[in-house]
Structure 1
Amino acid sequence: MNEEDTDDRSRRAQLAESLARVRERVDRACANVGRSPDEVALSAVTKTFPASDAALLADLGVTDLAENREQEARPKVAEFQRLRPGVRVRWHMVGQLQRNKARSVARWADVVESVDSGRLVEALRRAVGNALEAGERSAPLDVLLQVNLDQRTDRGGCSPGKVPELAEMMARMCEIQLCGVMAVAPLGEDPDVAFATLSGISERLRRDFPEAREVSAGMSGDLESAIAHGSTRVRVGTSLLGGRPLVSR
């Protein structure tokens, strides 16, 4: 066995152990509030980590992988496909997205969780339509509305009051499908308050758009709180993959 194979086996064992711990946390959090673990999906946030880690996570049964930066994600998705040809995972874009990146994202993303403006909605609609016509994708794009819960513009997200307007806009489109809401808990504040607010926003959205059932909330440090308030998807990076390596920008 060469050194590369040894490193691969070691990394796989690390990821398997971390994945088991994360799933135990999800199971325990669900048990504490009387929910089934089947109600909570897991997205592995692979930003700054190599495609080889994404491939190993897929081997371990992780079917949803998330990225924050389009310019990092695009080559990583291509490399993943080379490493695991024929293996189907769903790629999520969870970072802030500029409109000029919509065309690229439409070629590789299955889900965009960071939609927060009408202009971005329109850019994605056009990009997905073009990608469908060109045979670069075979299905509409699933999207989540990112809600800003602390009014810090540097973190992205629309105000809670904008959610109905953006939902109505998307309801008239066939290229994109509204699936729910996403949010990040404000730094330094009680996540229970933030996730309770998001739960209320989601409940009101579902009254008019029953298909918008997903609530993407909770990360490594606060997934228990998010699950207690109805999260249907947690986005976990550090607890799965370890501390993030320094990368040049």
Structure 2
Amino acid sequence: MSDRKAELSRNLTAVRERIAAACAAAGRDPGEVTLIAVTKTYPADDVRILHSLGVREVAENRDQEAAPKAAACADLSLNWHFVGQLQTNKARSVVGYAGEIQSVDRLRLVTALSAAAVRAGREVGCLLQVALDAESGERGERGGVAPDGVEELAAAVAGAEGLRLDGLMTVAPLAGPFAGRQRAAFERLVEISSRLRADHPAATMVSAGMSADLEEAVQAGATHVRVGTAVLGVRPRLG
């Protein structure tokens, strides 16, 4: 086993143990929580190693890095998640490789993604990114739709050809009433998700929590956690 494979194997084991412990504390089955490895800034070789270690869900946040990496790993059975803020002019490229787009936050993007998915002959899963730091009707600093805009945006995705409404995503806010209160933020997302499922029962995904706060997300009810640093190591600085 190469040094890098051994390192990633140790890290994966540690993260999976953290998820299992958080599930035990919350009275949940660890099988209810899916680990998504965030591979941004790391090479396709690392993605291949993760695949050999059983990882099937990987995430990227910049199309210019993700597209060639996905192409280099096209022979592997992977589900690529796009988790970054997405410009409408990148919709066609991202739809080419992503099975799940977790950062859907405005109607114009829904229109662009739908057109791209139809053109590609694909059905793409969508999560609405919820900005818990947003004022009424506003978008948050990191993108995302305000909580009171979720219903309208969800209806647009559900009615868009080529798209599938799968659930909600959030990033723990740095400002606003939930700053420094990750558990409360994630519980709020789960509450919004519960309301969403009344109209869209198949939209069951709740993507929340990263390396530093995955326990809080699991205890709040997240179904997916997005983990980068704890799996792959401290990211190299982009010069």
**Into which bin does the TM-score normalised by the smaller protein fall?**
over 0.9
State the 1:27 CA deviation: 0.2
Distance 1:80 1:147 in 2: 30
The answer to whether residue 112 in structure 2 is matched with residue 129 in structure 1 is no
Q: Secondary structure at the match of 1:35?
A: coil
The answer as to 2:141 corresponding to 1:167 is no
Residue 80 of structure 1: how far off its partner (Å): 1.8
Structure 2 counterpart SS, 1:73: helix
The equivalent of 1:199 in structure 2 is 190
State the alpha-carbon separation in 1 of the partners of residues 14 and 232 from structure 2: 12
Cα offset, 1:196, TM superposition: 1.2
* Structure 2 contact 140–146 (Cα < 8 Å) conserved: no
- Cα distance in 2 for residues equivalent to 1:243 and 1:21: 15
- Pair 1:89 & 2:78 matched: yes
1:185 corresponds in structure 2 to 172
- 1:147 matched to 2:140? The reply is no
Q: Secondary structure at the match of 2:73?
A: helix
Matched, 1:68 2:61: yes
Please give the secondary structure, in 2, of the residue aligned with 1:200. Answer: helix
Q: Which residue of 2 aligns with 1:222?
A: 213
Distance in 2 of aligned mates of 1:9 and 1:24? 23
State the AA in 1 paired with 2:124: L
Task: Describe the SS at the equivalent of 2:206.
Answer: strand
CA offset at residue 153 of structure 1?
3.1
1:101 aligns with 2:90: yes
State the 1:103 CA deviation: 0.8
Per-residue CA distance 1:100-157 (angstroms, 9 max, x = gap): 100111111111000000010000000111111xxxxxx3000000000112733010
**Aligned to 1:236, which of 201, 218, 227?**
227
Match of 1:4 in 2: none
- Aligned AA (1:49): Y
**Which of the pair has more CA radius of gyration?**
1
Q: Residue type matched to 1:234 in 2?
A: V
Q: Which runs of 5+ in 1 are unaligned?
A: 1-7, 133-138
Q: Post-superposition, which runs of at least 4 consecutive aligned residues in structure 1 deviate over 4 A?
A: none
Structure number with the higher helix fraction is 1
Report the alpha carbon displacement of residue 247 of structure 1 after superposing the two structures with TM: 2.1
CA–CA distance in 2 between the matches of 1:190 and 1:171? 31
Matching residue of 2:38:
45
Gaps of 5+ in 2: none
Match of 2:145 in 1: 158
SS at match of 2:6: helix
Query: Secondary structure at the residue paired with 1:26?
Result: helix
Shift of 1:77: 0.7
Q: Scaled by the length of structure 2, what TM-score is found? A: 0.94
Give the whole-Å Cα distance in 2 for the aligned partners of 1:195 and 1:56: 31
Q: What SS does the aligned partner of 1:154 have?
A: coil
Number of equivalenced pairs: 231
C-alpha displacement of 1:173: 2.2
Q: What's the offset of the Cα at 1:245?
A: 0.7
Q: TM-score, normalised by structure 1?
A: 0.90
**Percent of matched pairs sharing the same residue:** 51
Looking at structure 2, the residues matched to 40 and 153 of structure 1 have their Cα atoms a distance apart, in angstroms, of 26
Asked if structure 1 preserves the Cα contact closer than 8 Å seen for 2:132 and 2:140, the reply is: no
Matched with 1:29 is 22
| Aligned pair partner of 2:108 in 119, 126, 133 | 119
